[in-house]
Structure 1
Amino acid sequence: MQVLETLIKDARQLAAGHGPATPAVAEVARQMQICNACRYCEGFCAVFPAMTRRLEFAAADVHYLANLCHNCGACLHACQYAPPHEFAVNVPQAMAQVRGETYVAYAWPAALGKLYQRNGLTLSLALAAGLALFLLLALALNGSLWGGASAGDFSGLFPHNLLVSLFAPVFLWAVLALGLGVTRFLRDVSPATSGQAMASGDALQATQDVLTLKYLDGGHGEGCHNEDDAYTLSRRRAHHLTFYGFMLCFAATSVATVYHYALGWHAPYELPSLPKLLGVAGGISLLLGTAGLFKLKLTRHPLHGDAAQKPMDYGFIALLFLTSASGLLLWLARGTPALALLLALHLGVVMALFATLPYGKFAHGIFRSAALLRYAVEKRQPNTLALGDD
């Protein structure tokens, strides 16, 4: 007990003396010292093998480990030092709090970092409603709000080039803001993760880990377990449906853009065209995935995450769900007078989604991918601490 208390004190002093150490960073450093003395959870995910390579946990190390964490919650229920123990070790919650701080700290421009804390469900829905209302007013003014276009002919309502001029700047801004933020993150954590340059095999390994959500399998392929010790792959499946549904929808839009500008094939596209096949499959997958994530959010153990980030989580899930639902409804109602109304709703939701991408929960996938890339680099290097123990 005295040894662990000494380690905790040293961890707090270390975190306070290196980098922008916040109370959340210091708390993760404290818990990692305890976990390093125990190591019961070493096989659960990437966090704990990475932890064993360190005796000290400065801010850069903590930011790296926090973004490696997939927040499955398994280590909380396996831990003998979890609350109500006096050590109060809750790795999922502590890591979630640091991740939230990471998004703010690496936001670009820095002045917009606070948007992560304000990007909640109410703001997301209000933004989508406001944009949709603006488009509805535009349609009403030119008399095409109800039954103003033939089946599926969106260009009769909003010219294609106009839509591109509206969405392209928002999309490019999201790419730029997230790209600059994660570049700074990689620059800061690279020295703490061996400092070695990335090899081609590292990128392949990280890509595989990202696309398969390897670390949501509980370390043994059966999934992560809940407080009742029942293993489940439900979070992994819901995330897969959401991620691949989003990517299929994005692919549908990309293929349609190629059709329009390179081949001169203009919308509307119907089955069995490639844009429509990709869009319908992606929409259904995204609908099921986001519904699953929402249900899991409502039923998760309250100690698994950071309660302060729930509004941001719900806002992102809601916009993804509404994007898929409105898109599918738009296709099903393509021959009805409601086409224009549903198109305005869909475009408003999609624009709100992309406007909030750089400062919402979407960032967690970008930063987690970067952390997994550095993990692939780091684990290629010899673990000198383990060798020293031999």
Structure 2
Amino acid sequence: MFEQSQMERKAATRIDEARRQIEICNACRYCEGYCSVFPAIMRQRSFAEADITLFANLCHNCRGCYYACQYTEPHEFDLNLPGILAKVRTGSWERFAWPSPLARLFQRSGTALAGALMLGFAGLFWAAHAMRPESGEGFYAVMSHGLMVAIFMPAFLLPLLALFVSLRRYWRHVGGQGIGMSQIRQALRRAAHMKDLSGGQGQGCNFEDEDRFSNSRRYAHQAVGWGFFMCFGSTASGTDMHYIFDWPAPYGLLLTAGCLERARLKLKADPALGARRAWAGEMGFVLLLGFVLLSGLLLYASAGTVAVAVLLPLHLGAVLTFYLLMPYTKMAHGFFRLAALIKDAAGN
């Protein structure tokens, strides 16, 4: 109870500080064309907690507004809008996550937790190797298809349920209603083009260096996003091919490069302009997702060799870890930001 009340006080302090900075930004309006956050701010005269939560999830942390601002430190206003919105955003993911203690644990120790779970699950899969079928082809000679389905089907469906509950809580909090297909299509176009990482004029953002505009982060996000959907489509089509046509499943590549680039950019970025306590969780997610794809590619390349017996448990351990942690990682931010873009497109 004491810990919960302490968390609530910290959350209220973050909201109050965000409100102070947003009110100054709303009076200045210098950064009007930078991203979706500022037009959304300018539509309001007062800022409730739900409004600030929406602004935080609209923010893509490109940091251009910080480096353009005349009121940052050492000015007495001491503005750091990307930093405070990152803290509010992380707090909203933890608050609306279901169950929320898992989100807080991952944000604090994400890299270590992901690594420990991946190795632990890999060990279990390696032990299950002793239960391998008497006959089988390809990967199923190491672990039966039935065992894989029994493990991964609930591990895939339960995180989707957790994400649904989290998004429902968030949507209710920000007052989402009266949304039509036109707003959804507009939000999807903005998300697909990563418009809010373009710096407003298409020159990119300042995530890596204050005086250097770059689209690297935008392209890395697109590689991860499109790579994920391509891999999901590959897996879905592979399921049909396996059950209907009895063909082996295909595999993909783009996502690995995007994850590696995002990890490189995160190492170069100033941590003071983000949520420091969530850094381990964010990096852990990027590395875990990248390893899932890299290990899958290596596994596919090693088909028919003795390396499969080692790589398959590692890959399956990484996939299972990714599924189970998905609602509490930065993977959830894509869903929250899309919901924020849909709400913003409605202009209410």
Q: In the alignment, is the contact (CA less than 8 A) between 1:216 and 1:236 conserved in 2?
A: yes
Deviation by residue 1:223-256 (Cα, 9 ceiling, x = unmatched): 1135442210000011111111122111111111
> Which residue is equivalent to 1:346?
315
- Correspondences of 1:147-296 after superposition (within 5 Å): 153-190=138-175, 197-225=178-206, 227-261=209-243, 263-266=244-247, 269=248, 275-276=249-250, 279-280=251-252, 284-296=253-265
Q: In the alignment, is the contact (CA less than 8 A) between 2:106 and 2:113 conserved in 1?
A: no
Q: CA deviation at 1:138?
A: 2.0
> Which residue is equivalent to 1:15?
none
Distance 2:10 2:128 in 1: 48
Matched, 1:87 2:77: yes
Distance 1:33 1:56 in 2: 8
> Which residue is equivalent to 2:6?
none
- For structure 1, the residue ranges without an aligned partner over 5 or more in a row are 1-18, 270-274, 382-390
Deviation by residue 1:169-198 (Cα, 9 ceiling, x = unmatched): 1111111111111111111212xxxx6501
Name the aligned partner's letter for residue 12 of structure 2. T
Query: RMSD value over aligned CA atoms?
Result: 2.0
Deviation by residue 1:138-161 (Cα, 9 ceiling, x = unmatched): 21x3589xxx988x6112222222
- For structure 2, the residue ranges without an aligned partner over 5 or more in a row are 1-8
Name the aligned partner's letter for residue 183 of structure 1. R
> Which residue is equivalent to 1:386?
none
Deviation by residue 1:21-54 (Cα, 9 ceiling, x = unmatched): 6111111100001001100001000000000011
Distance 2:109 2:188 in 1: 28
Name the aligned partner's letter for residue 207 of structure 1. L
> TM-score with structure 1 length normalisation?
0.83
Distance 2:300 2:336 in 1: 34
Distance 2:163 2:246 in 1: 33
Q: CA deviation at 1:325?
A: 1.0
Distance 2:165 2:297 in 1: 34
Q: Quick one: structure 1 residues 119 and 254, their matched pair in 2 at CA, closer, same or farther if it must change by over 3 Å? A: farther
SS across alignment from 2:272: coil
SS across alignment from 2:19: helix
Name the aligned partner's letter for residue 153 of structure 1. G
Name the aligned partner's letter for residue 105 of structure 1. R
What fraction of aligned residue pairs are identical, expressed as a percent? 40
Identify which of 12, 32, 44 aligns with 1:22.
Answer: 12
> Which residue is equivalent to 2:5?
none
Q: Which has the larger radius of gyration?
A: 1
Distance 2:212 2:100 in 1: 42
Q: In the alignment, is the contact (CA less than 8 A) between 2:108 and 2:278 conserved in 1?
A: no
More deviation, 170-179/226-235: 226-235
Distance 2:95 2:258 in 1: 29
SS across alignment from 1:65: helix
Q: In the alignment, is the contact (CA less than 8 A) between 1:116 and 1:359 conserved in 2?
A: yes
> TM-score with structure 2 length normalisation?
0.92
Distance 1:114 1:218 in 2: 31
